[in-house]
Amino acid sequence: MAKAAIASVQLVRFDSLRKAGPVPHGGGAGTLFCNVAADTRAAGTEPASQQAFTFLILGLHENAGSAQRFLADRVAWLDEAQEVWSGILEPFRHHGAANYLDRATPGHLFESMMPPDPADGPVVALTTSGWNAGEGLDMNRVREFGAGVLAVRASMTGVPGLRSQQSFFFPGVLECDPITVTFWRDEASIRAFAYGQGSHRRQLDRHRTEGLADRTSFTRFRVLSSAGTWHGESIPVALVRRMRTAARREDLC
């Protein structure tokens, strides 16, 4: 299975309840996955309806050049949005499996990580969960896991270093693994929340002992470049980091 090296994220917010528009089929050369998902939990709608106020367009790419081209081919319905933030993200930590690249055989999404290089600025985290579809699927497990996600989201109010958090369902609800997106001030903030005492740690322990999902993954990213705002704030990017990365990646040209 081919692996990605870079992710693109577009967060889109509207003032009225609606469905998302389409995304480019295939996403262009070098795009391994692209789809749009809805934050139906926050909207209070059924996941299958795909009606929400907030949407995520996720792209997984072979290189940064592919991500740049994908973002440049901006879909028209984003012009109707109240707010859009887009970013090109480079993973520096990745564990677990998801079914975005291969529905039949879920696995790692990204190639081997770059040499250890702690993130020195804003961090974006993507986490996924998935279940093996079929007649034997125990929906009680799915509901228990979903209740845990809601508990964690409720516990995140006022968490130091947290800038934003959303969770999304792709069309088909469980056919494509649901995903959460969180923005953090720095890596220290996300580590303190993820591994400290509280609701998130409890849900991690429950998942390990009870196996509420068939697979999970998490990825932490540094922000290579960004545009727009989210809830009125921009996500700054360290220029030194961007220049250093551009110098070692010929595919940025």
Q: Which residue has the higher pLDDT, 157 or 253?
A: 157
The reported pLDDT for the residue numbered 154 is 76
Least confident of 34-43, 128-137, 180-189, 241-250: 241-250
Distance CA 242, CA 79 (A): 27
Domains in the chain, please, with CATH? Answer: 6-252 (3.30.70.100)
Distance CA 137, CA 222 (A): 36
Extended strands (E) in 132-207 = 162-168, 179-184
Distance CA 94, CA 114 (A): 11
Residue 137: pLDDT band (50, 70, 90) is confident
- Do the beta carbons of residue 126 and residue 219 sit within 8 Å? yes
Per-residue pLDDT tens digits for 31-68: 999 999 999 999 999 999 999 999 999 999 999 999 99
Q: Is 218 helix (H, G, I), strand (E, B) or coil?
A: strand
Percent pLDDT > 90 in the chain is: 57
User: Residue 135 pLDDT more than 60?
Assistant: yes
The reported pLDDT for the residue numbered 145 is 79
Distance CA 244, CA 181 (A): 26
Q: Map tokens 């990605």 to a residue.
A: 4
**DSSP H or E segment with residue 42:** helix 40-43
User: Residue 103 pLDDT more than 50?
Assistant: yes
pTM of the model: 0.86
Residue 151: pLDDT band (50, 70, 90) is confident
Per-residue pLDDT tens digits for 7-29: 999 999 999 999 999 998 777 88
Distance CA 109, CA 93 (A): 11
130: closest CA among 110, 107, 155?
Answer: 107
